[in-house]
Amino acid sequence: MTEAFFSARRRTCALNDPMIRSPGQSFRASPRRCLLRCLCTRFPPLPSPEDFPKWAFEPKPYFRFDILHQSKKSLARVGQITTPHGVIDTPGFVAVGTNAALKAIDFPSANNAGQQLIFSNTYHLMLHPGTDTIKEAGGIHKFTGRLNHPFITDSGGFQVFSLAYGSVQESLESGGELKRSKPRGNKRHWRSDVTGQNAVTVTEDHVIFKSYRDGSKVLLTPESSIQAQKAIGADIIIPLDELPPHHIDRDMLAKSLERSHRWEVRSLREHLKDSQTRQQAIFCVVHGGTDVQLRTKSLDYLTSLPWDGYAIGGSLGNGREELKTLLNWMMPLFNTEERKGKCRHLLGIADVQSVQNAVRMGVDTMDSAYPTKLARHGTLMTQAGLIRIKRGQHAKSYGIKIDDSCDCSTCIHYDRAYMCHLFKFFNFSESNEENLLYRNTHFVMNAAKANEPLGLQLASVHNIYFMNKMMAAIRSKIYDGEI
């Protein structure tokens, strides 16, 4: 497949693209319609491994994955990823710092809590502060001051398609219907016209979406996504892919899979242009939903190409049980001699139960905003389960640690009573007529719902520490033959 073909294909798509044919025309073609429009389009065969240079398949001096121990009881393994900015112990948890920042916790505190790899989002960083700004600062490590710890960035595709279909949960609840254009809850900086069927236009060449900051149109291609991630400078980058909703018929899922493959190949070619000097690794994204045949097809094709690691993405089922079923039959396919030497990353899922299931099936790393999101809502993770620290039962838990087995800085210095105070520092009595009167005022209503910022920080430190301590314990159990 030559560059000349890609250029011709882009010109053909451009002629068929109403956004390009009439620059002043508004968004009219939904992602679903664009997918339907391409159902009958014929494309040449995807490139084979022989179409890539031999050096692309050779080990990289700046990126290495070493398997230190393979369990005899399951597919679990202990390993270590070496990157230009530090090592990652696997199985490992990857915290999500969307805007190159974790919510309610700074990087030094996260580092001290054992956090090694941070996942940041290209979509958000493109819109603000802009990839040029990050590049001018010397890359994401210098920009954030996190010099000796690695970053991974995604392509931006997940966030773009979420504008049309919503979050994973919204997509599941809606049956895959396009979102209506509406404000994003309490996100006042989000414009009301950037979501729904008019928000995203998809062609074979690119995606056009609207910025949530000012409504301006932004064009994203496989090539520009890679260029943006190279400007950001993360240690691991992800190719652009298409994320269809969970509820989609098989024919459309198959066409979406084929497009993702074409986009990922374009991303890989763009990456290889300067991969020997940039010192960044690139992971493919295996798609196919919960369809066994399509997942297998995606895995077989992508693992034949010169990627540095494998990510598992797309729709991963409707709940933990479907995810577990998916991993049970899919992960053994990664365990062949030619595939097992590369890292496997599970995209977007890392709650405790899913982590335990995924590790047994040979997943090496997994990312999620789960621990910090729980923390912001006053939920603390412990060996005995989740604690809702806002509940009144904790108000007088003097001297009682959040978790007896935890030695994070939060647990060393603060007890449950103080944490409850930080999250629930306004306590109105329903029977007090005067308080009920005050509660009707806008100011007091907002104050009553507020959290003391320190509480968010301390809870986030605790939950991040809990996740990383749990992963360390899992690695020990694999070594000891318990997993």
**Residues with active-site annotation:** 154, 367
Secondary structure E strands in 77-171: 77-83, 86-90, 92-96, 118-120, 151-153
- Helix (H) or strand (E) run with residue 214 in it: none
Rounded CA-CA distance 50/65 in Å is 24
- Helix (H) or strand (E) run with residue 332 in it: none
Rounded CA-CA distance 7/11 in Å is 6
Provide the greatest CA pair distance for the chain.
78
Rounded CA-CA distance 25/359 in Å is 49
Coil, helix or strand for 85?
A: coil
Residue ranges in 61-130 assigned as alpha helix (H): 107-112, 122-127
DSSP 349-417: ---HHHHHHHHHTT--EEEESHHHHHHHTTEEEETTEEEETTSGGGTT-TT--S-TT--SHHHHH--HH
Rounded CA-CA distance 55/421 in Å is 59
Closest of 185, 166, 186, 184 to residue 176, by C-alpha: 166
Rounded CA-CA distance 130/224 in Å is 13
Exposure class string for 160-184: b at 16+ Cβ within 10 A, else e: bbbbbbbebeebbebebebbeeeee
Coil, helix or strand for 152?
A: strand
Q: How many CB atoms lie under 10 A from the CB of residue 306?
A: 18
The first and second tokens of residue 348, run together, are 């977007």
CA angle, residues 164, 41, 294, in degrees to nearest 5: 65
* Distant-in-sequence, close-in-space partners of 159: CB < 8 Å, separation ≥ 6: 121, 123, 124
